[in-house]
Structure 1
Amino acid sequence: MKIESTSQLANIIRTQIDSMRKAIKTPHASSLSSKKETTKTKKISSTKEKKDLGNLIVQRVAGIPVEDPQRRRKAFRVFLESVLLDELGDRLIADPRFFRMVEDIQNQMQADQELAPVIEQAIDLLLTPSSSS
């Protein structure tokens, strides 16, 4: 899989997470100016972070044995875990509730008739060997 494809998939999930965050809380006027300042900083470092996240996902997916009958499901789970940890913080990796949450999210996403084909395409991209390999 190409890192650019991984980054595109991660951006889709990030957009969904941002939408959920906005629905849960609306920013106060005092936090808007500080939000603008942090947005500039985030944009500068986001390209490197996206590449690092893409590399991490590619490495983890490559570690799933080809003969594993659950390989497709595991590949998408690796993707979800990686993006969610990147967005919500690495500290969650020590929380068993995080992994239950990821399982619930994956089950809901794959049960959704509209999302299922998109997820299958994403899994195909995740399992496509990189041309540089």
Structure 2
Amino acid sequence: MSVDRTYLKSAIAAMLDVLAIEHPLGHQEAYVRRYILTTPSGKRIELMFEQSAKTPANIWLEASVAGSLLRSWTKHRLSPASQLYAKPGKNGDPQYGRHSALETMPALGTADLICMQPKTLAEAGAILDHLLGA
């Protein structure tokens, strides 16, 4: 992982640690950090941040709260619930099709999701600002 990516991921994790609470399912220290972000209006938003050295700084959230983020300049990809368990795994059984840490999260596990991929701290901040306004 480059110094830039290391810094970006550390900074995003620090922002999330201040703005959100750790999800009851907890973090996976090497791979993901799971959070609940509570907006000023009291809405609770689950999100998951991939902190692994092998991935971009992915922030997973429900597509229903993404709103204008879908039209933003931040790279993202949609992950519709309709595609879950659609492909067989190596053993032939249906495979979840997303990061396995999402599967057990109550709001994210089977919902339509968006995976935001901020490349800068400003992009990550804009995502969190948007969510806090939800």
Structure-1-length-normalised TM-score: 0.28
Structure-2-length-normalised TM-score: 0.28
Q: Give the number of the structure whose residues are more often strand, by fraction.
A: 2
Higher relative contact order (CA 8 A, sep 6+): 1
Larger Rg: 1
Q: Give the number of the structure whose residues are more often helix, by fraction.
A: 1
